[in-house]
Amino acid sequence: MNLLNQIRQISEELTPTDKKIADAVIANPDDFARLDTAGISSEFGFSQPALTRFAKKLGYSGYAEFKYDIARNKNALSGSESVTTYAGETAQLLIKTESMFPSEKLEEIVTVLDRARRIFVTGYHRSRACAELMNSALINYRYPSQAIPYDEVFKLDAFCRPGDLLIVFSVSSSIYATLAKTLYESDQKPEMMLVTCAKKNEMAKYFDHVIVLPDRKAVQSSYALDPAITNLFFINMLSMHMHTQK
For the chain, 246 residues long, give each residue's pLDDT as a single digit of tens.
567 677 777 777 789 999 899 888 888 888 888 888 988 998 899 999 999 999 898 888 888 888 888 877 766 555 544 445 778 788 888 988 998 998 899 999 999 999 999 999 999 888 899 999 999 999 999 999 999 998 888 888 888 899 999 999 986 556 788 888 889 998 889 999 999 988 888 889 999 999 999 988 887 776 777 888 999 999 999 999 999 876
- What is the model's pLDDT at position 2? 64
Q: Answer for the pair 239, 246: CB distance below 8 angstroms, yes or no.
A: no
Distance CA 186, CA 156 (A): 11
Question: SS3 string of the chain?
Answer: CCHHHHHHHCHHHCCHHHHHHHHHHHHCHHHHHHCCHHHHHHHHCCCHHHHHHHHHHCCCCCHHHHHHHHHHHHHHHHCCCCCCCHHHHHHHHHHHHHHHCCHHHHHHHHHHHHCCCCEEEEECCHHHHHHHHHHHHHHHCCCCEEECCHHHHHHHHHHCCECEEEEEEECCCCCCHHHHHHHHHCCCCCEEEEEECCCCCCCHHHCCEEEECCCHHHHCCCCCCCCHHHHHHHHHHHHHHHHHHC
Q: Answer for the pair 125, 63: CB distance below 8 angstroms, yes or no.
A: no
Q: How many residues does the chain have?
A: 246
- What is the model's pLDDT at position 234? 96
- What is the model's pLDDT at position 84? 58
- What is the model's pLDDT at position 246? 66
CB atoms within 10 A of CB 17: 14
Identify which of 202, 222, 218 has the alpha carbon closest to the alpha carbon of residue 210.
202
Distance CA 51, CA 62 (A): 9
Distance CA 118, CA 75 (A): 48
β-bridge mates for residue 209, sequence order: 193
- What is the model's pLDDT at position 80? 47
- What is the model's pLDDT at position 119? 97
Identify which of 242, 220, 244, 226 has the alpha carbon closest to the alpha carbon of residue 112.
242
- What is the model's pLDDT at position 77? 59
- What is the model's pLDDT at position 87? 81
